[in-house]
Amino acid sequence: MSIQHYLDLLSVERGLAPSTLAAYQSDLRQFAAFLQKRDVEDLSGIDRETIQRFFEQIHECGAHPATAARKMTAVRGWCEWLHEEGFLQEDPAAYLATPKKQRRLPVVLSVEQVMRLLSQPTTTTAAGKRDQALLGMLYGAGLRASEVCTLTVADVSLTTRQVRCFGKGSKERYVPLPSVVIEWVTSYIKDVRPLWSGPSSREALFLSQRGTPLSRQAVWSLVKRYGRQANLPPEVTTHMLRHSFATHLLAGGASLRDVQLLLGHADLATTEIYTHLFPQQLRDSYDQTHPRA
């Protein structure tokens, strides 16, 4: 049913992240299996009622609202493409309402908790120096774990004290780095990375001791381990450091627009959620920044 062709198109034209493409692939395969169970053997059998029944089943199985919304996005996008390509005379998902996601406030760490976390690595060891630089990059620049894992040595400018990263949709942005993080990264690049670098390292900034680029799972595990050592909440994650970065900047007086650019959010409304953490202080900043405030 041309699912792979559609996903290939999304990868090339929209530059979706591999994780998003994998999720859409899983969602569309689930939908295809549903169609098969209902004896829908060709595309002409896909109608509005069938799609609605699919999502009723999703909700009956207790899917999280965000997951259900993503599945709806995947199915709607595929049906729209099938219609545009002439496989369907009409788009059966055109007027289906997308379920609203529950908007949850981001969980953040206090400044004191972050400082405890950053002080956990034993910097007398090579691994400890790497981990300190890694944690400093996650919090100091507010990067996603996937962004940290794809950094190259050339992406870090020690002279201009900034890092270049590529976010969702491969969008490029530059984020300034605190002096202390520059010191940690400089020490790691000078003293540690050459010890581990090898044929499989490519130009990756953060390496494992085997010389391979660190994976997101490895970064996630490091944050969890150091979080336990620092007696932080068990649910601490890499993304919690990103939330903390944004919240601490806003609490210190940074504008929503500035934080939006640093985080790489396409829409200011995405950054706006942080205003709920400091209602009055951030409301004032929002009123001064947002063009429709």
Q: Is 144 a catalytic residue?
A: yes
**Which residue of the set 48, 239, 248, 290 is catalytic?**
239
Query: For this structure, is 164 an active site residue?
Result: no
Q: Which of 6, 24, 274, 286 is catalytic?
A: 274
CA 81 to chain centre: 26
Q: Which of 168, 216, 248, 257 is an active site residue?
A: 168
Asked about 101 being catalytic, the answer comes back as no
Please identify which of the residues 193, 242, 243, 286 carries the catalytic annotation: 242
Query: Distance between CA 214 and CA 208 in Å, rounded?
Result: 6
Catalytic residue among 129, 130, 144, 243: 144
Is residue 37 flagged as an active site residue? no
| Whether residue 274 lies in the annotated active site | yes
- CA-to-CA distance for 15 and 51, rounded, in angstroms? 27
Residue 242 has a CB neighbour count (10 Å cut-off) of: 21
Q: Of 24, 193, 265, 286, which is the active-site residue?
A: 265
The yes-or-no answer on residue 239 being catalytic is: yes
Just list the catalytic residues.
144, 168, 239, 242, 265, 274
